[in-house]
Structure formats: C-alpha cells, structure tokens
Amino acid sequence: MRVLITGGAGYIGSHTVKALGEKGYQVLTVDNLSNGHKEAVLYGDLVVGDVGDKDLMEDIVSSFKPEVVIHFSAYIEVGISVKNPLSFYKNNVINSLNLLEVLIKNNIKNFIFSSTAAVYGNPVKIPIPEEHPIKPINPYGKTKATVEKALEDFNKAYNFNYVSLRYFNAAGADPSGRIGENHNPETHLIPLILQTAKGEREAIKIFGTDYPTDDGTCIRDYIHVNDLAEAHILAMEYLLDSGKSDIFNCGYGYGYSVREVIETAKRVTGKDFKVIEDDRREGDPPVLVADSKKLKKKLNWKPKYDNLETIVKTAWNWELNRRY
C-alpha cells in the first residue's frame, strides 16, 4: 500500500516513516527540510519540496497515487506563533488547504492529520477527553483547530475521510539511535535537560514552582515517539477498514512534573547539573494530561514505551550519538 507523508523528515514524521517501512508499506516523503533532516528518512524516497506548491503536489499525487496521506508538515513553536502568526496561518492553514484541494481533485479520500492538545487551550477537565471544548489560546493551536474544522466540513461535503490525532508531549527517540529529536531552536523539555547534562547548556530553567501540583511544577503527559508513530499506523488502518472519520487523543493518561523529569534525567545520565527556578511563563496550564481511553479501545493501541525512564534513556542514547 502506498502512503504519502508530508513532513516525514521531521521528528514525529521520521519515526512514522520508519515504522511504516518496517511493516512493508510503500512510503514517499515530501519535506522542504526547513525543520527536517534528509538523514532522518530511512525508508522510501524523499522529494525535497514545499507542500504549499500545488503544481508539485499535483505531480506527486497523480503519479504516486497514494491510498493514504499522513500530513505532518507544520510550524510547531508556540512562542514563535505568537510573535509571527502570519507565517503560521500561511504554512499550517493555507498550505494544508492547498494540499487538501489537490487530494480531493485526485479522489484521494483517506487523510491522517497531525493535530495537538493545544487546540484545547486551558483545560477545564483533567484528564482531557476529546469532547473537551476547543478553545486554543495561541496561534499555533488556532491553526490546528482551523484545519480540524475544515476537515469536518470536507467530510460532509466531499465524503473525505480523516483521522485527527491530538498529540500531547512527544518525547524520546527510536531505541536504534538512528533517528531522534533535533529542533532548531530546541524548545522541548527533555532534550533541553539532556543537553544541559551533556554540558552544552549552562543550566535548565524551571518556569514556575508554585503551581497547584504535588511539587509545584507543571505536569505534562509525555508520550514516546514510537508509540505515537504506532498510533498513526493504527489510525490509518482503522480509516481504511471503517471509512469513518474520527479524532483521538495521543497520550498515556498520566503525567510527570518538571522536577520528576529532571530527577529522572539525573538518574539516567549519572550527571548532576545546574537547575534555575524562574517565574511562571504566560499560558502554561498547571496540568495537561490526555484521556486516551478512546485510542486504546477503538484502535486497540497498546503502548510499549510508557515509562518515563525508558523515554529519557532513548532520548539520552540519541543525544550521545546524534547522526544529524
């Protein structure tokens, strides 16, 4: 079966490409490499190009004839989205609509969308169910929510089938050490902590120590990137079997505090490092944890790496032996 992946040279995309390739799927990746790495694409061909280029996507889709498209391509940095929302709306919304137009024109009707827990905004219920109100508080979350709304309308109007996966905090790396996380700038907690343990950063900052949690620091639901990749394959197979569009949270249903992640990293690396306690950051909810019962029940998702120590160990192995 042929699967087209946009953004397959990025962090989550590359792990999904690897998982698909190992299961024998025929994969084609399109990535402009603005945030991705060609070395991360371990299976299938890579076309270096922009998803917003309708002529290019028309050529690719009409020749490759994918049965499913998995759409990862997006800007993801929340802070940058606040400072430069125009670029996020252009890349995350307009380019997605251009891609969807090409797919509908070519009668390709199975689509997996890379969404985010940021669509929920400040949660009113923990753990967060899929039915939670959609009230994003930053442009990044708003762009993802906008595409989700478009998909809902396209499903009704064009019989276009989709699954939207709302990620919580993707973390870790493939245990092989061949691929891993590499953002520039890096904003994710675990790689920042591990780079501090390596001596590449002077200290790690804790933003806020007075939250209403057991140790006063924020709690997040960290999901290993390989378990997340598996969720994409299950979602794809579900869509092809059932033809029913749906939305699923991707998380473990429990979280760890910033202090717990730091202590786990110290234990895994055997390194001590400087920790600075700082003020809260605007827009950081105290707790973000997924209700992922639906993913487990409907898709029979069975995570294999759902342990913080395992997540940190695989990320540390990658940090010590980076290929890109």
Rounded Cα distance, 266 and 314, in Å: 14
* Dihedral sign, Cα of residue 41, residue 44, residue 47, residue 52: negative
89 catalytic per annotation: no
Q: Dig out the tokens for 299 from the structure.
A: 């898709």
Q: Is 274 exposed, middle or buried (0-12, 13-18, 19+ CB in 10 A)?
A: exposed
**Alpha carbon separation from 178 to 74, 248, 267 (Å, rounded):** 23, 28, 24
Q: How far apart are CA 282 and CA 99, in angstroms?
A: 34
Q: What is the DSSP letter of 89?
A: I
Contact 143, 109 (CB under 8 A): no
* Sign of the alpha-carbon torsion through 300, 309, 291, 70: negative
Beta bridge partners of 66: none
- Given the residues 43, 75, 120, 140, the one annotated as active site: 140
* Residues noted as catalytic: 140
